[in-house]
Structure 1
Amino acid sequence: MRIGHTSVLAITALLLVLPCEGAGPGDGNDGVLNGPLKTGGHRAEHEGDKASLELAIRDLIEVHGDSYPQGPAFLARLETIENRKAKGFEQLKREALMANPLLTFDKVLLVRSRAGERFARNWESRVSLPPEFSRSQEGVAQPNYHDELVILSLRDGSVTPLYQPTGTFIGDVDLHCDGNRLLFTSHRDMKTLANAPGHGKGFAVFELRFDPVTGGLQGDPRIVSPDMGRDVDCFDACYLPDGRIIFASTASYQGVPCVGGGSYVANLYRMNSDGTGIQRLTFDQESDWHPAVMQNGRVMFTRWEYADLPHYFSRILMTMNPDGTNQKAFYGSNSYWPNSIFGARQVPGHPSMFIATVTGHHDVSKHGPLVLFDAARGRHEADGAVQVLTARGKPVAPIVEDGLSRHYRPHFTQPYPLSETQFLAIRDGALYLVDTFDNMLCLKPRDGGARYYEPIPLRASERPYVLPDRINPESKEATVLINDVHVGPGLRGVPRGTVKRLRIYRYEFAPRHAGGHYALGMEACWDARQVLGTAPVESDGSAFFTVPANTPFGIQPLDAQGRALQLMRSWTVAMPGERLSCIGCHESQNMTPMLKRCQAALRPPSKLEPFHGPARGFGFKREVQPVLDRYCVGCHDGSKQRNIPDLTAARAYAALHPYVRRNGPEGDAHLLTPLEFHAGTSELFQMLEKGHHNVQLDQEAWDRLTTWADLNAPLHATWSEARARPALLERRLELRARYANVDFNPETILTNQTMDTTFVMPRPLTNVVVAPEPPVVESVTGATNTLALGRDVAMTLVTIPAGSFSMGSNSETPVEQPVTRVTIDTPFQMGVTEVTLRQYRQFDPDHLNGVYDMHYKDQVHRGYYMNDMDFPVIRVSWHQAQAFCQWLSRKTGKTVALPSEAEWEWACRAGTTTPLSFGTLDSNFSVHANLADATIKQMAVRGVNPQPIQNPPASWDYELRDPRSNDGVLHLAEVGRYTPNAWGLCDMHGNAAEWTQSDYRPYPYVPTDGRNNGSLSKKTVRGGSWHDRPFRATSSYRLGFPPWQQVYHTGFRVVVR
């Protein structure tokens, strides 16, 4: 397709920049969805029918046998009833379901609420609810709540008040296993709390004792949560098997960064039953919700995290020991579905099964469909989703949607499992018995203006297993043992021995009333980060090292150059004295533990090797600017006549960060391809490695630049520099020292930097200039040939003539020099286009191109989708490209291979001597190539479901490009879209970069020196991509990558010799 008008190109570019909204797979796209899944929800049409009831009765007969004696009679009665609308159906349904032997308890504990908000928005904790009282215009205090604890009799439906306070909130009810006391959240008198610099809402944890038989109170409720200050709230508590209590508290003194810190974050703490012995357990960026004890004694809770993840989709289910040790993701890590898991409770007798409400982000608060999960089936997206309740037999679809709950009806909240098939739950303020057969039975409807919440059977229950403490409260350190970093998908395809060290860095999350996606830098991170040091990795991939306790930290596996091979984009924490262990990199908890004894475990733990000085906040001013002062500003001094980036202190950050590819504050929630944002994919590092004006960095300079890139290129190192309020920062440190025994101050600014900043003028570069000679081209036939790949998929090749030419360039970098005369002895055939995704999937049907990262926050898609079958295949390694060639050779009987560098450049030039086959670097490439052009402006986006800004500020519109051309496409384009070169080849410049057969060796190019023999050294990539400006996509420009790396923009084309 050809488009000749700029206005049409602009419209086309705008359409192509937007993610595909719910596009179906389509026959033309190989059955692959090139966009987010938007279908597959469920809306119940009724509360159960005849088939549903029959299934439930038969299940009760099978499971309970003689304990369900009326089962056969119920079935006989059901046979006489035509359908759910017939007379007698509802009565039979109630009798049959209420005869369930699991309903041996007669009483259900409930909260009855007549007034007040119960559910904060899905990004808020309890403390974001209104205060206990509001003032009228006359100054009179008016209660915002009217709640009470009541007991429902299932036998006769009567409701008996248990505790009736006056005008206050009651919630977060947890019944002790003895069945005679409970915890709940309510308000306490703010005047009794210690003074503090901030303000809270006065939420506290209370305990109420009562006689479960008579319902009589045994004394007044007592406050069990401690006085942590007037600015700290405590709520959402649960009993631990040993008698202690876990509760949520805003003593973390953090704010939700996506709303500027205005909503307060609650983490989990543990205390004795009298409120003493407080220990902070979680050190999370965002709130932790709904702690509940599992039968094995571990604690299940929901954690919201978005350290470089899309914050609409990242509330995951966690488990930990009651002392805070062994904190692990239980369900939903690296997933888009479900956005949120709330109110999760383990199904009795099933260690991996749980019931929960799932919902979206900007969505109904804590309400949504009830979903039954089994983590033994899988832990990613819908892999472990057994069923949406009321959707029997319907597969659970992993819908990607901010407002997820709109795809489902009915909505429930606060489920309580009785078995793997029977559940209590709240629907629209009424109590229901719900089962997996689609039956819904209302046990207690709303009473006028009163609604019911938080159902718990009023009975004694089996005490969960008591797990002994594994911590040493006096210690300030912990150890981490990793059995093998290569186990798991995180480093899939990375050869053993590549990981040399681990970088350990600390997170300092946003304080109250601070934060934002660009608060710490442009497309940087939500959180300040401090490099703690590095730890060695043994030859078997194991590592054993110490870390500071009670400290959220991330891990990055580093190669020999100190560059991150994968990004963790999360954190873990170790309790004092804990020996934290994991199998590998992003391994599943369903993976069988390794039995071998790793090398690192045979020695004492390594102390972290400091990063050029003490642990400190990492930012541009003190870590990167010294490198620029020493090696760059002598030339990049801001002089207008130079017309090069200004790297002096005032402008350096804005000038340099566009040269670094990075994940940004929000990236694809799915596990990244290894090396997706490796420093070697950034123009800054490629330029320096290719000999940029012969600048020679020392090792410390490389370390600083690399670490800056790997940490998302932050500007600020501390929250103080990001204008957080000093009093709030001091208060946070005070509470952290008191309840976590941590005295590290991340706000400390160290000025005793050791790096010498005296400018070092690079030595003049001696270029070996070889005058190019005109090409000699034998007859050009333009003959084509077609290879059949199967399933009606074919590949067209064109004949490339023999001849000779001058390979390389005198005007690019030292890597393209010296120019060498090369002869192509015989004609060969080359693919007219790059290998497409459709063609490649004939060989590897599971391969997908994936997505490219989107800027900004508020993302409701994975990024820019690239799974169009007519796009060139990308993210294939050289090894994979070779395997495709071997497969195609066997299939066709031809000798199919990757082109050598010489063959590629000869074919690209097509008899020309200009940098580009269609002209000079100043030529308009709009109809010739898909390169970094005017459409790149559309990467400057904002808003929910970010859209291009019409006139973006320069600070947001920073992506490098040549704005003089408009090729009509933001990212990848379908192959063959642009004008071919003189020999009939399309996309030799841009679209996808291309692997060649050749090693990435210095010139002169000698075809017989072994560089084309398939060694395991770096391989040469040619042609540039949609991400590159013309000078990086010339006929001669070279880059090199390891043969196992799946580079974000690199594919290949084939030759037949």
Structure 2
Amino acid sequence: MRPTSLLAIASILPFGGASVFAEAAAKIEKPDFKQHVKPILEAACVHCHNDKSDKGGLNVTTLELTVKGGDNGTALVPGDPAKSPLYTTTVLAADEDAVMPPKKEGLLAPEQAEILKLWVQQGAAWPKDVKLEQTVRVSFEKHIQPILEENCLSCHNADKAKGDLNLATKKDAFTTGENAPTIIAFNSAKSSVYSLASLPADHDDLMPPAKSGGPLKKEQLDLLRGWIDQGAVWPEGVTLKAKEKKGPTTESLDNMELAKKIHDFIVQTSKEKAEGEMKAYDSKVPKTGIGYKMAAIKGGEFLMGSPDSEQGRKDDEGPQVKVKVKPFWMGVHEVTWDEYLPFMITDVGRNKNGSKQKPNPADGIADVISQPTTPYTEMSFGMGTDGYPAICMTQHAANKYCQWLSAQTGHFYRLPTEQEWEYAARAGTTTAFYWGNEAGQAKEYEWCYDNAPNFQYSQVGKKKANPWGLYDILGNVCEWTIDQYEPDYYKNLAALGDKSVGFYVKSKKPYPQTARGGSYDDDAIGLRAAVRRGSNPDWKQQDPQLPKSIWYLTDAKFLGFRIVRPLEIPSAEEMFHYWNNGVEKE
């Protein structure tokens, strides 16, 4: 990570070029912080430079913190733009390494940079009571253009300009119409393109009218308002054309019927019937030929949780409870990018739910399983993919990978339950770590904050295995389980008695889901076998989408998963619930 990236102003749009508000910006002789500067900073900076994610030590949520700066010194010198990286990094040449935002993220529009310059030059007035918060970066081409082309252009174009309004070009969109000005950069309240669209559904002036498909959805209105308030950037040379409004997405074939087909394949393929027949095995992902290893874990009983006396213990780790676990196989390693990337990245057009946009009658059972949409950025974040653990996937994405692998191999794979995970992590031991109670020995067995090269994850299998042959089980990256997180999990488990065998907490809400184990970003004490953590919305804080993706956790670089295969084959209905556990949407 380049230190200068800490001064980045992530682009409001994923492209460069001049914006449609050039003329409006030229009239802004004295930028107002709340109206003009705050929207740019909140949409472009705060996701990387805030109280929880201060990249390079830089936090730009208040004037005091911005002036204080980060690892490379101050980001803002009021009155002197030339000494303020908050501005100077935005006007470097596109091919300069230090240009912010980088070319691959999209250059800041010249008018946006000019507003920053004027604001700094005039003293960088910033009310003391104003603390910035992250807002979604709105893209014209990705978010606004489809809204206008599908809802407005059929009536407001050069050939059919109802109300004298033509929205096809940036010049006409800003200047024409009986209710002109239709768009005022940084002022959605006075922009009729937004104010008329946000009228009640039964209002006579609603645009688009109800008979033409109005009103717009709340998400569309939020995007339209955000775009205007962030400066109404419209790239040069873009002319809009009316398009048919998209109808419902293709019905997904990833349903119970598919689960039944996969179940039948698994029943026919899996040969082991008793624990004595279980052996460790090496296998390959059929579609890719990438190998993976599975360790055989015998069933048994263990004491789950940590005692009150354990150093670093937290309240959600107890009270300890005896748990019986049925036999299963578990991945020797965390699922690697080599295994996961072919599932994550495909050349198939997909709806947001991962279903194929154009299903083929010749598709096999593995081909119609929902798979991730293309990510907006490289998801290893430069830490490596060859033999490194896959990261940043949602629990839902990990579940669907298990289904995808199951449909190819004829073995039922899923995420481990919390019980199975801790049973395997302890590997018959009763100490805080499988090597004993000494956190100081962690560096010999696992990757953690104390020994992680370059403070990032490492290739799997480079440290010692636990007594049952599992590598990186307590470190490198923490790992998904199938359970919804409950602080009182152990107390509730104890109350189940014999019914706790095979139990997992089914999800009823998007957050929190349970991950187990420590990571390269945790102190050694955080690698204890009883450590639990629940997911939260901050794990996808930087996701620019509206609504946010069901596939990616852009801020969970410390999180991966490993697979299990229970000896006992569940019913098709149970398989379906394992693979579709949880609430996808927030």
Measured against the shorter chain, the TM-score band is 0.3 to 0.5
Q: Normalised by the size of structure 2, how large is the TM-score?
A: 0.47
Greater fraction helix? 2
* Structure with bigger RCO (C-alpha 8 Å, 6+ apart): 2
Greater fraction strand? 1
Q: Which is greater in Rg?
A: 1
